[in-house]
A = this chain, B = another copy of it.
Amino acid sequence: MSLFADILSTVFERRYVPFGLGRVDSRPLPDLTAELIGASGEVTGQAAARAILDRYAGMDDAAKRAFFTHLARERTIDPAALRAALEVYEKGEDKASYRALMQAAEPPRQELIRRLNQVPGATRALVAMRADLLRLGRGDDALMALDMDFRHLFASWFNRGFLVLRPISWESPAHILEKIIAYEAVHAIDSWDDLRRRLQPADRRCFAFFHPAMPDEPLIFVEVALTDGVPGSIQALLAEDRKAMHARDAKCAVFYSISNCQAGLASISFGNSLIKQVAADLSAELPALKTFVTLSPIPGLSRWMEAEGLKAKDDEALRRLAARYLVKAKRPDGSPLDPVARFHLGNGAQVHAVHAGADTSDKGRKQSGGAMVNYLYDLSKAAQNHERFATAQEVAQSAEIRALAAEKGQ
């Protein structure tokens, strides 16, 4: 039976033979990828695409690495063909030579990935495939080049214009909420009761970006606390016995945790858009909100202090060192040493305040001696902050931080 019969029977009978359960096409994978790339349009492509995805789903790491290596080596660009197409194009830039050049300039694996995506539900499988690639390909230049093609396509598919912001609440479906528990990367959620405390009170909010082709998979989410003032302790902010305030009375929105959910979407940036969009939505809903601020970890502080041979004799000294670290410690390229600082300063935020004893968890004590920082998203200064940061690597900071960082001594 030919492939096309396969497609049609799959399509017409897919209520009986769901994705992944059918008879597996046993031909060598290179044959399948060749067929999928070369197939005459979409007509016969779906069967090959499904076969490849089904096969992939059953592979162990060695087989996956072999598959990636096949794509990396045999479905890459052909320099000679590209050179030939380029020469024709340079002689006369017409439509036909442009088309030929574009075809030669794109590695066939890009079209392969696009055609794999024709299968219903494939987007999620492809995101998982890239997670495998990142895990297995580290240090292998050819596989990292292959990853560039995945990343290139994903940046197009997961374009901001295609993402949907959805509030996450205690009324959200349980199968989404269990992912929030699983993916929380900053302050672990240790039970459903803990989750409820982060979602249900009137002064708590959570928002996530979703992609329509993966509606059950949050891509990134942010947890927000509505407060009266800028907070200086994560434990106080999340205390079980605190009394919730009315949202309409809150003056400050605190972004206290941002977590990426999909390893397969690494380097596809959503965080900046998410913070802005959430701030916009909250601002529209709650006009009393005047301050948008984070309560953020300082993950590299302890390591830096150790490297520099610095010790904090008291809280005040720790705050001084934290301020100094955040505004003065740099990577060779001049950007801030602290990764969280790089993210928020790159978004146009400023270093607003530092607090000792702000995160008394083991992790907090270990990474920063318990210190945390507020980055302030101040609308009237954000544009200027961003431009100075981008062009002159100037770190926006409050007067208090400036003074603290300038103090002498440990």
Contact = CB atoms under 8 A, between A and B. Distances in A.
Interface in A103-130: 105-106, 114, 117-123
B43 A148 contact: no
A357 B87 CA distance: 56
A4 B387 contact: yes
Nearest to A4: B383
Interface of A is mostly: helix
A174 B276 CA distance: 28
B174 A170 contact: yes
A77 B101 contact: yes
B269 A41 contact: yes
Contact of A106 (B105, B141, B280): B105
Interface in A370-406: 379-380, 382-384, 386-387, 390
A346 B42 CA distance: 11
A391 B177 CA distance: 51
B161 A120 contact: yes
B8 A382 contact: yes
A1 B118 contact: no
A102 B213 contact: no
A98 B386 CA distance: 31
A237 B200 CA distance: 34
Interface in A61-90: 77, 79, 82-83, 86, 89-90
Interface in A263-319: 269, 272-273, 276-277, 279-280, 283-284
A99 interface: yes
Interface string A1-44: 11111111101101100000000000000000000000011111
Contact of A86 (B42, B83, B155): B83
A170 B174 CA distance: 6
A153 B114 CA distance: 11
A332 interface: no
A120 B348 CA distance: 21
Given A43-B346, A212-B212, A383 B8 contact: yes
Nearest to A165: B120
Contacts of A122: 161
A95 B382 contact: no
A156 interface: yes
Contact of A152 (B15, B102, B173, B213): B102
A106 B40 CA distance: 24
Contact of A144 (B15, B82, B95, B162): B95
5 contacts: A43-B272, A43-B347, A95-B145, A105-B105, A170-B175
